[in-house]
Chains A and B, each alone.
Chain A
């Protein structure tokens, strides 16, 4: 619902909002430009009476004096028959330049507020502002949800690419969007008279005046002592008309002055409605508040960016929503697949299962979890595939699922299998899938197989789950899920270093030649090899296989090499293939960015913990540490004589200070130690580093990571305000585990 509320105005009013934002952004610069040409007022600047007298002296035919919000003083007068307007020096009342309103600004203003369609146009632009408000508010709530609560609103943004950019920029610019659009709507309502802007209240017009000889302007008492910054406008009486009056407008109100007595004939202080209007006008235009204008202008320039990124994310999600062939109606199907998906990637897995079951002769129905029916006439089993959104919440297509489930009269008479999809790096991994599973149990539903959780769309884990699910059904299921495969390219092996044969962990550091990434323009259009950083992933497709295996990258593309660290697993198709490579042999790969595992720019120092091949990306970070900021490595292996990966490099890095310290632990030697033991031994130093803003990055096997987390928990125990969970939430504790 909320997502729709965000999406629909964006799609409908996007272009309009862009036009308003760009024109507004251009106009926002004007107050600052105008102000730049105006001297600051000083104590030496005369009051309004002196200025008016100076002006009358220089321009005897002056009709009107105005002070613009920028501080410019403008005099309107007649030179014979032709009307003139000049900007004068506030100190002397002498001419500085001719004044005319910039046609460019007038044109831009008219486009901005009415698109050149007068009142109808104003209604359209106000609707654009309304769309902006809806977009801002719904976006704000969506960000809060995505971040796992309002208190994390300004925490580190998870995710990657355009979505991250959209959230990161949007959550800051949203304040300016709301301010600009709310004030715009107020101003439109004021123009149409729906809200009072206080202009209706005017001082009573004086029809009866003294009629005597006019007074010199310098002697008019209301002008004397009126500071220039409070002066707005003075209209002179029509020459030769003794019944005419001076009209004076100041910051506080306006009124009429008798030209012969100098007395105020009538005066009206600005009503509150007028003050409100002027304040809001100032907020919207930045006039007399030039810096605010610049801020709002800068923010408005991010509107096209927001629209572009939002639009692309929407389009991608839409494209990912698969058309499922042979989708049978819910009441005819023997197998029901319901999908809870936020970004739609989960649908792809559902489709793979759907296809496989259909091929096996089943009648399969696939739909969103929100469409849970109270009963399925012919169903024999149900699969629930669900992702998790934000802090353990339901994804978009499952928002109403639990409610519907609770509303059921009785449990289904067929078994249900739950499969969760998520990313272990997020807190509450697959929480929603677990909640669904618990709710089903509570309802009394039987389960086909125990709930399983798939990390980062792992095709292998899915394949394994399929085999188990097939076994439970008494069938053979081969679920070869191919996520929309990126374009691959071929790389040739340049060199390899082998370790660990003697301790039963054959491990190789493989280096492939990598073409220098092309310009970013070429990359935008998907040409050339993409740039990558250490910690990103390379997907390797072994021969005759469609399922890629991912390896963490141990180099940056700028080095001209792609380096990975691979341990040979008994029976592992891909690792065996990689270990069989000789220099010159080629492999087929693609790059998958992994922005969740990168050293933070702001981190004061970095603690790197890895065991076995997990040291690969850490080595990449160290090699790329040309800034020489403090990095501390904790490395675990089996035997220093056999599997001390990167041993030579580590020595060099310690010498050139790319690495500040290295701690190693080996588990197959006399004083057997694991890397977490080294962490515990260094507790004081680590605590100190973490307190001072260090970031921790852990890479390696799942068990090692759990051990390290426990060790760090112990290290941080004396600190009241620090815990690994807290550090994780701040993006200061990153794990890349497998």
Chain B
């Protein structure tokens, strides 16, 4: 028993320093009442030059519909790494709230959070909304182009 406890302590000690370099960021997307089927959203990071960095979260699990998230697909050159960061698509009028870990080094470094959106039978919306990943923008709601009524990140 004591041995297990000791091993556990040791393991945590090894892990915790690593965690110190990332921080949880809450992303909230409140959808408009656009009246259609559930929307697919791709939330990803681009660097100061607008180049794709990595994907934070994808709402919608059927990969065959990803082709409608054109901006994201193009930016990631069709090979986004999304393992473990997908969830359900978001209904009209609903709210998506997810927490992701983002490395400290990317915050306040000119990076931006970008969202692509699409829903069956509706327009594709690349660059639905873009928010700078910095402390100044934290908690400030922004409107999307079509699907998203209010979008914010909380650092």
Contacts and interface: CB of A to CB of B under 8 A. Distances in A.
A64 B124 contact: yes
B124 A205 contact: no
B62 A101 contact: no
User: Does more than half of chain B's interface fall in helix, strand or loop, or is it mixed?
Assistant: loop
Given A205-B74, A244-B74, A83 B145 contact: yes
A205 B36 contact: no
Interface residues of B, number: 22
Contacts of A103: 35
A76 B126 CA distance: 13
Contacts of B38: 118
Nearest to B64: A199
B127 interface: yes
A266 to B, nearest CB: 11
A268 B38 CA distance: 28
Contacts of A106: 35-37
B149 interface: no
A205 B127 CA distance: 18
Contacts, number: 43
B70 A101 contact: no
Interface in A400-443: none
Contacts of B73: 205
Contacts of B145: 78, 81, 83
Nearest to A208: B77
A628 to B, nearest CB: 59
B78 interface: yes
Interface string A250-282: 000000000000000000000000000000000
Given A106-B37, A110-B37, A83 B123 contact: yes
A18 B34 CA distance: 30
B21 interface: no
A238 B126 contact: yes
Nearest to A247: B70
Contacts of B62: 193
Given A78-B145, A205-B77, A63 B37 contact: no
Contacts of A315: none
Nearest to B143: A81
A199 B35 CA distance: 25
A207 B52 CA distance: 13
B71 interface: yes
Interface string B121-148: 1111111000000000000000001100
Nearest to B126: A238
B67 interface: yes
Interface of A: 63-64, 76, 78, 81, 83, 85, 101, 103, 106, 110, 118, 193, 199-200, 202, 204-205, 207, 235, 238, 243-244, 247
A218 B58 CA distance: 36
A83 B145 CA distance: 7
Given A106-B36, A110-B37, A63 B70 contact: no
Q: Nearest 4 CB-CB pairs, A to B?
A: A83-B146, A76-B123, A199-B64, A205-B78
Nearest to B61: A119
A193 B145 CA distance: 31
Contacts of A202: 67
Contact of B124 (A193, A204, A235): A235
Nearest to A200: B64
Nearest to A233: B124
Nearest to A110: B37
Contacts of A244: 74
Given A200-B64, A238-B71, 8 more contacts: A76-B123, A85-B123, A103-B35, A106-B35, A205-B77, A205-B78, A207-B77, A235-B70
A241 to B, nearest CB: 9
20 contacts: A64-B124, A76-B123, A78-B145, A81-B145, A83-B123, A83-B125, A83-B146, A101-B35, A101-B122, A193-B64, A199-B64, A200-B64, A205-B73, A205-B74, A205-B78, A207-B78, A235-B70, A238-B126, A238-B127, A243-B74
B151 to A, nearest CB: 14
Contacts of B77: 205, 207
Contacts of B124: 64, 235
Nearest to A190: B64
Contacts of A110: 37
A204 B71 CA distance: 15
Nearest to A205: B78
